[in-house]
């Protein structure tokens, strides 16, 4: 006797375990295994955990108690970490973040593959090959940033999900299907989340929005509803950011001078990544697959397909140009991995038709050979230290500075030197001590209470120190005052991109007690802090948050965001207070 369900089950099993499915799944499984083997959290990842712990302690989304400074660049990723801490209180939040980031990375790869396969189905291919995903999986940085405690995995998932949804809508649009398959409201909300993943992902959101509109048949009343839904979440958070932090952007954007052009350093960062892994090989082959999609779109006059395939390509090119312009990053490959992923999404899975079979097989073999060579032998020539340009293999660097080589749990990190710095500050606070310490000089604190330590690495030191110790950033990433100071190369030595030290006089003036014999530069800083918009800025980010202050900050946010002052205290006093030498 035969049962219908056994027949369907047999068909499903044959589909799941078919050679084509196994081939398409292989790169995803590869990243899953190697990404989990390389699981870790970076020192910057601990910064997010510090803010999570402040929220759990009842101090709000701040880095230091009493100062409202936004150090979490990825709002959505911070929200995921905070939700994980609430839902799984028995597990260390950074471990939860590593697991979630790993899952999101794989989700992004799966959705990108499904989207590319959906676009290829229309041409009725005889088989599929995962050219784009194979290229992504072969990159060693992909294994590192599958976790890391940063938002990279979330970036992959969001890009893959947007592409998958738009690919389905494009095919439905070509086939003339009607609602709900092309109803734009839910995709609009998803696409609007880009700036909350990273502010610079607004570029991708804009282009995906164009793809959404071109793959939709909207009535006159659909347009305003779609626009409102797309902007609702980011605008709601932007309103909160303005009122709470008195800023239009995260403080990290101000501290890193994200509007400055550093093309030479940015090109070095690009070559350090693309040159090492000979990315031109998979990109050229991926372009061949994209060309097939574009040719089909041209032949069928499908504007929807043009938009869906073109949006991630153009978005990646624009984002790479932006990253190069601002000088890249100090973490090898980190900022360019999402762009590589986006470029290869339309060719993540390529459908092979009979007419193109021989060419496709040659291209696949070419990429496979490159993938084997890169995955087995391509490694950064630097590991325990950064290279001469300040670029570091971040995971290898921190693994070399721990006793076991593991960099995931608190125990892995706290045994290192930075962990001891933070722990000592916490012990001193518990013993009732009070001081300001910048690593070379220890002074009495301004109020006679609390511990204030000035450091260059904000991560594990702040975790070891605990939420009550004020950890002051020499690089201004968590300092809402000196992040507005204009970069002055005369006052700092060589530094990593976006990590220039600010003069210590400003920190001493804010956190250390006045001394009669203190250097004149500190006196200049103390007086400058009382003048003009610098005094307004301090008032906006400190003190009790009341309803009146919130609305006042909303009004002040545009002005304070663009406010800058000279890093040199004497020049700042002259500019802000009207002081002249000799008075």
Mean of the per-residue pLDDT values for the chain?
87
* pLDDT score for 181: 45
Give the separation between CA 274 and CA 374, rounded to whole angstroms.
12
Residue of 408, 338, 384, 378 lying closest to 142 (CA atoms): 338
44-76 per-position pLDDT tens digit: 999 999 999 999 999 999 999 999 999 999 999
Q: For residue 550, give every residue at least 6 positions away whose Cβ sits within 8 Å of its Cβ, in sequence order, or none.
A: 243, 244
Give 254's Cβ-side CA count (13 Å radius): 31
User: What is the distance of C-alpha 131 from the center of its chain?
Assistant: 26
pLDDT over 50 (residue 2): no
Q: What is the pLDDT of residues 479-516, one digit of tens each?
A: 999 999 987 666 665 556 666 788 999 999 999 999 98
**Greater pLDDT, 153 or 176:** 153
User: What is the per-residue DSSP string for 369-420?
Assistant: HHHHHHHHH---S-SSS--TTS-B-HHHHHHTTSSSS--SSHHHHHTSHHHH
* CA–centroid distance for 451 within its chain: 31
Q: How big is the CA angle at 559 (ends 557 and 565), to the nearest 5 degrees? A: 115
Predicted confidence at residue 16, as pLDDT, reads: 52
- Per-residue CA distances from 340 to 114, 163, 306, 316, 343 (Å): 18, 14, 19, 7, 5
> Are the C-beta atoms of 210 and 187 separated by less than 8 Å?
no
Binning pLDDT at 50, 70 and 90, where does residue 354 land? low
Residue 481 Ramachandran class (φ > 0 left, ψ -120 to 50 alpha, else beta): alpha
- Residue boundaries of the structural domains of the chain: 4-37+70-377, 410-577
Gap between the Cα atoms of 276 and 378, Å rounded: 7
Give the integer Cα–Cα distance in Å for 297 and 304.
Answer: 8
Looking at 239-248, 325-334, 416-425, which range is the least confident one? 416-425
Q: What is the pLDDT of residue 1?
A: 42
Predicted confidence at residue 405, as pLDDT, reads 79
For residues 238 and 248, is the Cβ–Cβ distance under 8 A? yes
Distance CA 176, CA 380 (A): 50
In contact, 126 and 353? CB cutoff 8 Å? yes
**Range 291-308 average pLDDT:** 79
* Sheet strands (E) in 113-226: 127-129
Answer yes or no: are the C-beta atoms of 337 and 287 closer than 8 Å: no
Q: Which residue has the higher pLDDT, 282 or 221?
A: 282
> What are 158-211's pLDDT values in tens digits?
999 999 999 988 887 777 665 544 467 788 999 999 999 999 999 999 999 988
In sequence order, what DSSP letters do the residues of 496-525 get, joined into one string? -TT-PPPPHHHHHHHHB---TT--HHHHHH
Percent residues over pLDDT 70 in the chain? 90
pLDDT for 498: 60
Q: Give the whole-angstrom CA distance, residue 495 versus residue 346.
A: 38
292 preceded by cis ω (within 30°)?
no
Can you tell me the distance from the alpha carbon of 213 to that of 421, in angstroms, rounded to the nearest whole number?
54
- Overall size of the chain counted in residues: 583
Q: What angle do CA 154, 471, 486 make, to 5 degrees?
A: 80
Q: Is residue 332 scored above 90 in pLDDT?
A: yes
- Whether the per-residue pLDDT at 579 is higher than 50: the answer is yes
Instruction: Please report, to the nearest 10 degrees, the dihedral formed by the alpha carbons of residues 571, 577, 578, 581 taken in order.
Output: -50
Query: How far apart are the C-alpha atoms of 180 and 159, rounded to whole Å?
Result: 22
pLDDT at 9: 52
Residue 4 has what pLDDT?
56
Query: Which has more pLDDT, 336 or 223?
Result: 336
In this prediction, residues 302-307 reach a mean pLDDT of 82
Question: At 229, is the pLDDT very low, low, confident or very high (cuts 50, 70, 90)?
Answer: confident
- The residue whose two tokens read 């001078």 is 257
Query: Which residues, 6+ apart, have CB-to-CB distance to 184 below 8 Å?
Result: 212, 213, 216, 218, 222, 226
Contact between 163 and 115 (Cβ < 8 Å): yes
The whole-number pLDDT of residue 218 equals: 64
* pLDDT exceeds 80 at position 537: yes
Distance CA 114, CA 162 (A): 12
Measure the CA–CA gap between 512 and 437, rounded to whole angstroms.
Answer: 9
Q: Which residue has the higher pLDDT, 456 or 13?
A: 456
Q: How far apart are the first and last CA of the chain?
A: 105
In tens, the pLDDT along 73-101 reads 999 999 999 999 998 887 889 999 999 99
Distance CA 139, CA 277 (A): 7
Mean pLDDT confidence for 228-242: 94
Q: Mean of the pLDDT values across residues 231-240? A: 95
Give the position of tokens 């975790």: 463
pLDDT (tens digit per residue) in 201-226: 999 999 999 888 887 766 666 778 88
Spatial separation of the C-alpha atoms in residues 256 and 73, rounded to whole Å? 12
pTM (predicted TM-score): 0.92
Which residues, at least 6 apart from 513, have a Cβ–Cβ distance to it below 8 Å?
A: 443, 444, 445, 446, 448
Which pLDDT belongs to residue 182?
Answer: 47
| Helix or strand (DSSP H, E) at 109 | helix 93-121
Looking up tokens 């006089």, which residue turns up? 505
Residue 44 parent element (H or E): helix 43-56
The maximal CA–CA distance of the chain, rounded, in angstroms, is 105
- Residue 349 has φ and ψ, to the nearest 5°, of -130, 125
Q: Comparing C-alpha atoms, which of 497, 477, 407, 481 is closest to residue 51?
A: 477
Taking the C-alpha atoms of residue 529 and residue 344, their distance in angstroms, rounded to an integer, is: 50
Q: How far apart, in whole angstroms, are the C-alpha atoms of residue 460 and residue 45?
A: 9
Indicate the SS3 state at residue 531: coil
């Amino acid at each position: 006797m035969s049962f219908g369900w056994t027949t369907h089950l047999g068909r499903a099993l044959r589909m799941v375990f078919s050679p084509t499915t196994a081939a398409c799944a292989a790169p995803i499984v590869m990243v899953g295994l190697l990404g989990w083997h390389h699981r870790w959290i970076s020192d910057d990842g601990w910064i997010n955990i510090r803010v999570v712990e402040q929220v759990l302690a009842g101090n709000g989304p701040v880095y230091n108690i009493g100062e409202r400074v936004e150090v979490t660049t990825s709002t959505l990723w911070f929200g995921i970490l905070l939700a994980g801490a609430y839902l799984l209180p028995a597990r260390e939040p950074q471990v939860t973040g590593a697991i979630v980031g790993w899952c999101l990375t794989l989700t992004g790869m799966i959705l990108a593959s499904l989207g590319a396969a959906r676009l290829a189905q229309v041409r009725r291919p005889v088989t599929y090959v995962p050219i784009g995903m194979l290229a992504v999986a072969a990159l060693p940085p992909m294994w590192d940033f599958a976790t890391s405690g940063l938002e990279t995995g979330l970036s992959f998932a969001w890009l893959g999900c947007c592409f998958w949804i738009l690919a389905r809508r494009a095919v439905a649009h070509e086939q003339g299907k009607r609602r709900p398959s092309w109803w734009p409201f839910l995709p609009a909300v998803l696409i609007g989340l880009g700036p909350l993943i990273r502010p610079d992902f607004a570029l991708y959101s804009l282009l995906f929005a164009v793809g959404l509109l071109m793959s939709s048949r909207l009535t006159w009343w659909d347009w305003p509803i779609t626009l409102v839904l797309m902007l609702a979440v980011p605008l709601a958070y932007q309103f909160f950011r303005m009122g709470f932090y008195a800023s239009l952007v995260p403080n990290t954007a101000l501290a890193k001078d994200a509007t400055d052009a550093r093309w030479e350093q940015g090109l070095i960062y690009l070559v350090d990544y693309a040159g090492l892994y000979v990315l031109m090989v998979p990109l050229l082959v991926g372009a061949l697959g994209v060309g097939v999609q574009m040719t089909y779109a041209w032949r069928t006059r499908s504007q929807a397909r043009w938009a869906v395939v073109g949006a991630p390509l153009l978005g990646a090119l624009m984002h790479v140009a932006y990253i190069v312009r601002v000088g890249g990053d100090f973490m090898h490959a980190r900022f360019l991995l999402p762009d590589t992923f986006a470029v290869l999404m339309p060719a993540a899975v390529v459908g092979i038709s009979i007419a193109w079979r021989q060419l496709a097989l040659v291209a696949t073999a070419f990429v496979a050979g490159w993938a084997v060579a890169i995955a087995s032998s391509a490694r950064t020539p630097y590991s325990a230290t950064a290279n001469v340009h300040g670029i570091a293999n971040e995971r290898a660097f921190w693994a070399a500075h721990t006793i076991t080589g593991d960099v995931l749990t608190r125990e892995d990190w706290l045994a290192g030197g930075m962990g001891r710095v933070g722990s000592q500050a916490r012990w001193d606070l518990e013993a009732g001590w009070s001081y300001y310490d910048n690593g070379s000089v220890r002074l009495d604190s301004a109020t006679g209470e609390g511990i204030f330590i000035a450091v260059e690495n904000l991560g594990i030191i702040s975790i070891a120190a605990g939420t009550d110790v004020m950890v002051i950033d020499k690089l201004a990433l968590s300092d809402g005052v000196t992040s507005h100071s204009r970069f002055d190369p005369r006052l700092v030595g060589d530094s990593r991109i976006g990590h220039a030290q600010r003069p210590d006089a400003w920190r001493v003036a804010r956190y250390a007690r006045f001394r009669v014999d203190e250097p004149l530069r500190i006196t200049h800083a103390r007086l400058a802090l009382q003048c003009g918009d610098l005094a307004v800025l301090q008032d906006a980010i400190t003190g009790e948050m009341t309803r009146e202050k919130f609305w006042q900050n909303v009004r002040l946010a545009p002005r304070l965001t663009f406010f800058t002052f000279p890093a040199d205290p004497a020049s700042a006093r002259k500019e802000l207070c009207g002081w002249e030498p000799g008075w």
